[in-house]
Each structure stands twice: as structure tokens, then as C-alpha cells.
Amino acid sequence: MATCRAAVITEHNKPLTIQQVTIPALDAGSLLVKITASTLCGTDVHRWHGPLGDKDTLPIVTGHEPCGTVEDIAGERTDILGNPVKRGDRVVWSYVACGSCYYCAVACQPCICRGRASWGHNRSDQHPYLLGSCAEYMYVPKECLIIKVPEEVTSASAAASACAYRTVMHGYDRLGAIKSHETVVIQGSGPLGNFATAVAKDHGAKKVLVIGAPANRLEVTKKMGADAVLNLEEVSDEKQRRQWVKEHTDGRGADVVIQVATNMAVPEGLTLLRDGGRYLNIGAGGKANIAVEKIPQEMLFITVRSGEPRHWLQAIDFLASRKKAFPFEEMISKSYKLEQINEAMEAMANYSVVKAVINF
């Protein structure tokens, strides 16, 4: 039986090991992809520290942000645009919703499908074995929609579009149009915050204000088009941060606030919004309470989870078509080899990098 190398979590909080994992036989419509890059995400760190869902059991191949080239296809496949997929094509691919439940078929909200499949938490010793991206190969189930990666997008950026960037695109999809007189405040300056900054500028916001940390991340934020940034480490008083937003918005507060940090940022974020504004809540993790009586009048509160296949396409398309306007590569801060997986996970855990990539 053929095998390939993969970074496996065998015990929570213990070093990952590089193991030989079975390459499955392909069933009709499925693909085998040779991974070229896998970016790491906070979620990978959370899953390393402890199980995220109660159904998840070890050992698992870590990673859920892959980009790779098609090694083998069982039968004929087309991509999300209807073009044939061939061996050697560089691709990313969507998660899979069941397609036939209430959320998928009636509400048309497949991201909250209860039977949704995703990567980076699947057992490495059970078929189809290779559903984590920190591996030389990944198995791509037939239900996945395939998005080809154009030449001008690097594998590392394409990989990041498989989680962070497509979630941002989903958020903007639900938010709707940003008008040319509107000011957007973004809470968070990690990969999602920096990508969200570029999209807000591109979508025509008059002003994009970003509150984040540390200083090196905010330098990237400025290059992604932020009109002004506020360093949380320097301005630790919430009142001063609110004052800063008021000064930029004629005392009203922002038209749109986008949270891409943690749940703990939400109570403050709501105070940065004008009455009637829109709050887009993306960042997960952490706990917070909202004082209902302080919620701005007539506001909209929008949440998103993950992305639909079209958002993978939108993210890849944005990276390709706006390449000249934004230095996307600067969001990937450090490159590692597969055998350096523990170093890379540690760097993500202690925030010493914005986004780490495993290059193959």
C-alpha cells in the first residue's frame, strides 16, 4: 500500500510526529492532490491544544489550508467554472455540505449544514486517511468543488484563501455594498484583518480604520490600504480608542465595524458603531457578554461561518486581479518545511508570525 509523509497529532499538546500515512485508492470523481503549500491557522493550534469538537479523536493529520497540483483523477472532473480539470493543474477545493438538509436545501445556508465535511481533524488511520493539509498528498472527495489557481497567485496565498480569505469574502457577501461615504472600522490585524482591509478599500469605503497589534502586523495593515491604524498595545484604554473612532467619523461612530479578532472584541466593537450601522462578526474564540441596552439602535448584527464554494473562487480571484494594488505576499510571514511542523505550530501559538506556511 502506498504511503506519504504527514504531520500527525497523536497526543494533545505533545510534539507532532511525521508519519507515513496511507494514500487511499480513488473512488469515482475523487482526486489525489500533491500539496505544494499548506498555511497554518489559529484553529490548527486550538486542535493541537485540545479537541475542538467532541467527535474528534486522535490521531489526525493537521492543517486545513491546502493548495496543490492534481496528481490523479478518478474519471473526468470539471472545476467550479465548468472547465475540465487535468493532471498538473494547481488547485484549491471547497468543503462539502450534504446538499439535502434544511440548511442546505431550504435555507440555502450550506455553511451551517450539520453534516458538513471539513479538513484538519480527520483520523489518519481511517479511510480516506489524507484529509489534512500538512501532508505530501491530500485526498479530495468527489463532492468538493475545484477552483483552479491562476499563475499570478502563489501557492501560499492560495492556501490561505482556503480558510482566512474565503471567510472574509463570505462576510462581505453577507454585509452587502459599502457606500462611498462610509467608514469601516476593522477590529484585528491578523491575516483576516489585513485581507478585510484590502477588500474594504477595494469595495469603495471612504475610510478604513484598523485597531490591532502588534506594530509589525500593523505595518502590513497600512500596506493593505488602511487609512489609519491604532495600536492596542499603545492605546490600552478603551475610551481612548472610542474617541479615536469618533474623531474620524464626525462623532457618530463607524458605518460598518468588522470583528476579525475574538468574541471578546464584540462589546467594544458595538460601541464603535453608529446607530443604524452594520456589525460583521467573524473572529471566533473567547467569551464575552453583550449588554442588550447598549446595542446601537436600528443596527444589523451579521455573523458568518466558513465559506461557500463561490467564496473560495472570490478569494482566489481577488488575489489574482488585485495583485498590483495590494502586497498580499507580505501577509505570509514565515516559511517552514514539513519536518519543522512543531516550530511552525509554536510560532503560530505565540503569535510571533502572522501566518506560517509549510512549503513542499
Q: Which residues bind Zn ion (CB under 5 A)?
A: 41, 43, 97-98, 101, 104, 113, 163
Query: 168, 260 in Cβ contact below 8 A?
Result: yes
In the bound state with Zn ion, the residue whose beta carbon lies nearer, of 83 and 303, is 303
CB of 359 vs Zn ion, minimal distance in Å? 18
CB of 45 vs Zn ion, minimal distance in Å? 10
CB of 181 vs Zn ion, minimal distance in Å? 34
Query: 189, 164 in Cβ contact below 8 A?
Result: no
CB of 339 vs Zn ion, minimal distance in Å? 22
- The sheet with strand 3-9 has its strands ordered as 17-22, 3-9, 60-61
In the bound state with Zn ion, the residue whose beta carbon lies nearer, of 104 and 280, is 104
How would you class 60 by CB atoms within 10 Å of its CB: exposed for 0-12, middle for 13-18, buried for 19 or more? buried
d(CA 333, CA 208) in angstroms, rounded, equals 23
CB of 254 vs Zn ion, minimal distance in Å? 26
Query: 217, 226 in Cβ contact below 8 A?
Result: no
Here the cell at position 262 is 475574538
Residues across the chain: 360
CB of 293 vs Zn ion, minimal distance in Å? 35
**H-only helix segments in the chain:** 42-49, 155-160, 166-175, 191-202, 215-223, 238-248, 266-271, 309-321, 341-349
In the bound state with Zn ion, the residue whose beta carbon lies nearer, of 41 and 331, is 41
CB of 98 vs Zn ion, minimal distance in Å? 3
User: Which residues does 64 contact at the CB level (< 8 Å), separation at least 6?
Assistant: 41, 43, 44, 118, 119, 120, 121, 132, 133, 162, 163
In the bound state with Zn ion, the residue whose beta carbon lies nearer, of 165 and 279, is 165
Query: 215, 231 in Cβ contact below 8 A?
Result: yes
Paired residues of 32 in beta bridges? 72, 139
In the bound state with Zn ion, the residue whose beta carbon lies nearer, of 106 and 292, is 106
User: Which residues does 244 contact at the CB level (< 8 Å), separation at least 6?
Assistant: 209, 230, 235
CB of 304 vs Zn ion, minimal distance in Å? 13
d(CA 46, CA 40) in angstroms, rounded, equals 11
In the bound state with Zn ion, the residue whose beta carbon lies nearer, of 217 and 248, is 217
In the bound state with Zn ion, the residue whose beta carbon lies nearer, of 103 and 301, is 103
CB of 116 vs Zn ion, minimal distance in Å? 7
CB of 179 vs Zn ion, minimal distance in Å? 31
In the bound state with Zn ion, the residue whose beta carbon lies nearer, of 104 and 256, is 104
Mapping DSSP to helix (H, G, I), strand (E, B) and coil, where does residue 268 land?
A: helix
In the bound state with Zn ion, the residue whose beta carbon lies nearer, of 101 and 295, is 101
- Nearest to residue 113, comparing CAs of 134, 132, 94, 133? 94
In the bound state with Zn ion, the residue whose beta carbon lies nearer, of 113 and 313, is 113
d(CA 114, CA 112) in angstroms, rounded, equals 6
295-303 long-range contacts, CB within 8 A, separation 24+: 295/270, 296/253, 296/270, 299/270, 299/273, 299/275, 302/171, 302/174, 302/175, 302/278
